[in-house]
Amino acid sequence: MGKFHRILEPGLAILIPVLDAVSYVKSLKEVAVEIPTQNAITQDNVTLQLDGVLYYRVVDPYKASYGVEDADFAVSQLAQTTMRAEIGQMTLDRTLAERSQLNAGIVEAMNAASANWGIKCLRYEIRDIQPPENVVTAMHQQVSAERKKRAEILESEGARQAAINVAEGHKQSLILESEAVKAKQINYAEGEAQAIFMRAEANARAITRMAESIRKEGSSGRDAVALAVAEQYIQAFGQLAKEGTTVIVPGNVSDAASMVTQMMTVFEGVRSKQQSIAAGRTESSSSGSNPFEAPQQ
């Protein structure tokens, strides 16, 4: 008679004619409602055009029938107002990047508002977001500038690495070159030292043999020394003429015999002096062999 009596469960239901009548029929299936395109302003004052799809389900047929006049219209309007409110709390970049969080926020707000309607919002999906043309152009320019910046950074890093590689290679080449020069100088010094040592040994042997020849041969050895001195005399004057433009020569340069005679006189004087020094050393050593020995009676 116009008063709520009961909710009919699925299956066979018996009604009394005239007294009982079915007023509302609600489907418990999930329902998809298309949300039309609408304008929303972001936190940074950018106007966007958005549309979406809402998925909900009736969980309490009594509240869905008597708690709201038109559940589909109420849910659609609530979805639009909730979406505008959530967009107003986010910037444009966050709206574009955090769409899933935006959808979750809309569902949570709608479930809190539609609790008395017997309706549960399952999910909300934003289908399309259309910024203004000037904003889209600015976004494209920003992306182009960012890509150009990255390209320049990569190019500069490549040039820097190339310069480092070139400098490192030059450094290594200088190190290797210096090590090669060092090894060359060491080898040259070792060779020069060995050559000097060998020449010194050869001169020592020559002097020793010459001394032995003079001691054994007597006058023949002195003649050989005279011949050697004459040869060295001639070679020395020849080198003086080659090495310099000013040459100091003695007055009797053509008389090589007199020069050799003078040199031999000097040689004999040095030789006799050395013999006297050696004899003195031998006599002093024999006389002072034992200073602590008592004199014999």
Of 198, 225, 199, 200, give the one whose Cα is nearest residue 214: 225
Chain-centre distance for alpha carbon 16: 91
pLDDT digits (tens, 9 = 90+) for 31-77: 888 888 888 888 888 888 888 898 988 888 888 777 778 888 888 88
In the block, residue with structure tokens 């090894």: 183
C-alpha gyration radius of the chain: 62
**Rounded Cα gap, residues 231 and 222, in angstroms:** 14
Q: How confident is the model at residue 268 (pLDDT cuts 50, 70, 90)?
A: low
pLDDT of the residue at 58: 86
**Rounded Cα gap, residues 46 and 92, in angstroms:** 7
46, HSE (Cβ side, Cα atoms, 13 Å): 22
Q: What is this structure's pTM?
A: 0.46
Q: How confident is the model at residue 204 (pLDDT cuts 50, 70, 90)?
A: confident
Chain-centre distance for alpha carbon 272: 80
Chain-centre distance for alpha carbon 36: 56
Which whole number is the average pLDDT over 254-260? 61
Q: What angle do CA 14, 15, 20 make, to 5 degrees?
A: 160
pLDDT digits (tens, 9 = 90+) for 100-153: 888 888 888 888 888 888 888 888 888 888 888 888 888 888 888 988 999 999
Q: Are strands 119-130 and 30-41 parallel, antiparallel or unpaired?
A: unpaired
